[in-house]
Structure 1
Amino acid sequence: MRALFSTLFFISFFCFADDSLSVKAVTDDYPPFVYQEGGEPLGVAVEVLETMASNAGVELEIAFYPWKRAYLMAKTKPDVLVFTLSRTPERENDFTWIGPIFKTPVNIYKLKSRRDLVINNIKDIKAHRVGAVKGYASEKELKKLGFVADVNLDTTNSEKQNVGKFISGRVAFISSSPAVLSFYLKEHGRSWTEVEAVYTLELVFDEYIGLNKNSNPALKRKLDSSFKELRDSGRIDYILEKHIGGL
């Protein structure tokens, strides 16, 4: 009888272990898509990911880091994902992709009050410093356009720092998405009406979840299936509208 009980316990334990999946999600502040208040993760992508994980029966931990560190963690550690992540040709083979959650344009902006900045083409922008975030796809696009770090490209570790430099006049221009810039302008007590787009980067960035390629295959299947259910049901569109509708 004891031998039978031990056998049954052994079988049930490993059945449970096989079904128990967990993932660590790493990110940086990119509001209104991903951010934190009082240590609580919030935003469009957070709500999507939390709903996905809950529906898939996957235990989820969300942690915030500087972007380059978050990216490296997800690229090198199994069962770690990074979100949200622009899917670009350079990154294609670094991750298993789930999404896209949303699309976002990235523009170069100036303050309307800077009437000294007369812009007719990209060369006019290159005569000044543009703020960008280290490791973002938009930073790489700016470099492709001929911007040079520490010459006319000023990089920071976060969008919050990037907008702070822009508002204080430490950089003449900023590269950012409309929703993110609008969020941080409000934090600074400024209005969206105070800025204007002077150049649009050619790519519209598709924002995904990037899962480490060596992760448990069952984790990928469950998260991918859960994402598709949310997308097909219209739930993701509802979450997007709730957070950024009307911008």
Structure 2
Amino acid sequence: MVMGLKVVTLLLASCWAACASAQLRLYTEDYRPLSYMDNGKLTGMVVEVVEALIQRTGQPASIELVPWTRGYQQAQREVDTAVFPTVRTAQREDKFHWVGPVAAGNTSFYSHRGAGLRVRSLADVEQLGTLAVPKLWYSYEVLQEQGLKNLYGVPTPQHMLRMFKHGRTQLMVANSLVLDEILAGQGMRREQVEWQYTLTRDTTYIAFSRKTDVGLVADWQQALDSMRRDGSLERIHRRWFIHASEAELAEILVEP
């Protein structure tokens, strides 16, 4: 009997060690300036946060830049996987374990500056012809759920921007954190567009597969909370977003 208990104990210990050493597969997309490849090196504001969390938790992990669809699907199907940066929405809530928030911003409608538009509701948006939005963006999910009649799904943000730039659509949708980079992809600047209407206030997280051990997820959340307390999360955020307001920072610096 004693020998049997020893065998069980050894098996449990071996299982725990194997689980503890399992390598996380972390997926991200090209979503500047939160995550992107620069001269062959993965970088970005949220990438820096995730790398710090890997170091603090001591969890073996790899980060791979992939198309959003692949990362999002893998993080729902596979054990020990996560996808980031992921906006946390009601539609996605039960699909993942969440660690965050790691960033916060506004998703808003923008027009060409000087176009003379005044948009203050979704009813106004519907009066302005086709609204192109990338199908894989959460904002597409939100607008589709709200029954926006002129919603037109496009494959990528670049498709949306080209249509907007050349006057095929009067409005574009973008998160304030990535607005500059999205515009730059079509040779445009923030000064050329005008805010019209904010759709949602967004908080961005690391989304872990539901098949990932909850203890591991808790360790990551605790490590992120420690980054809030020691000021390292704020320092990373301010380095990437030098004009961030105190109100914007408060959303990620106050422990949930």
TM-score if structure 1 supplies the norm length? Answer: 0.83
* Aligned residue among 183, 186, 192 for 2:184: 186
The DSSP-based 3-state class of the residue aligned with 2:243 is coil
- Amino acid across the alignment from 2:164: F
CA contact (8 A) 2:86 2:205 kept: yes
Q: Distance in 2 between matches of 1:129 and 1:83?
A: 30
User: Is the alpha carbon distance of 1:114 and 1:73 closer, same or farther for their aligned partners in structure 2, counting shifts above 3 Å?
Assistant: same
Structure 1 residues 193-208: aligned runs within 5 Å? 193-201=191-199, 203-208=200-205
Encode CA deviations 1:61-117: one digit per residue, 9 max, x unaligned.
2223332332111011111101111212221111111011121110011111545x5
- Residues in 1 aligned to 2:120 and 2:216: alpha-carbon distance in whole angstroms: 50
Structure 1 position 18, deviation (Å): 4.8
Residue 113 of structure 2 corresponds to: 112
Q: How far did residue 118 of structure 1 move?
A: 5.5
Q: Is the 8 A contact 2:24 2:60 kept in 1?
A: yes
| CA distance in 2 between partners of 1:174 and 1:122 (Å) | 13
Equivalent residue, structure 2, for 1:62: 63
| Residue in structure 2 matched with residue 172 of structure 1 by the alignment | 170
Residue of structure 2 equivalent to 1:157: 155
Which residue is 1:234 aligned to? 231
Deviation at 1:121, TM superposition (A): 4.7
2:19, 2:96 → 1: CA distance? 23
Whole-angstrom CA distance in 2 between matches of 1:54 and 1:183: 28
Q: Contact 2:45/2:240 (CA < 8 Å) preserved in 1?
A: yes
Q: For 1:209-235, what per-residue CA distance to the aligned partner results, in whole angstroms no more than 9, with x for missing partners?
A: 110111134432332222121122121
Percent of aligned pairs sharing the same letter:
25
Q: Tell me, yes or no, if the aligned pair for 1:132 and 1:176 is still in contact at 8 Å.
A: no
Q: What is the match of residue 54 of structure 2? A: 53
For each residue in 1:103-152, what CA deviation from the matched residue of structure 2 results, as whole angstroms up to 9, or x when unmatched? 1110011111545x56465333213122222232211222244324xxx2
Question: 5+ unaligned residues in a row in structure 1: which ranges?
Answer: 1-9
C-alpha RMSD of matched pairs (Å):
2.6
Name the amino acid aligned to 1:122.
Answer: L
Other-structure match for 1:76: 77
The 3-state SS of whatever aligns with 2:60 is strand
**Count of aligned pairs:** 233
Are the aligned partners of 1:66 and 1:158 in contact in 2 as well (CA < 8 Å)? Answer: no
Report which stretch shifted further, 71-80 or 176-185.
176-185
Alignment equivalent of 1:213, drawn from 189, 210, 214: 210
Partner of 2:104: 103
Structure 1 counterpart SS, 2:23:
strand
Q: Quick one: distance in 2 between partners of 1:134 and 1:197?
A: 22
Deviant stretches of 4+, over 4 Å: 13-16, 117-121
Q: Contact (CA 8 Å) 2:100, 2:206: kept in 1 or not?
A: yes
1:28 corresponds in structure 2 to 29
Note the C-alpha offset of 1:244: 1.5
1:67·1:134 contact (CA, 8 Å) conserved in 2? no
Counterpart CA distance in 2 for 1:219 and 1:160 is 36
**Amino acid in the other structure paired with 2:124:** D
8 Å CA contact 1:108–1:173 kept in 2: the answer is: yes
The AA in structure 2 aligned to 1:153 is: L
| 1:19 Cα deviation after fit | 3.9
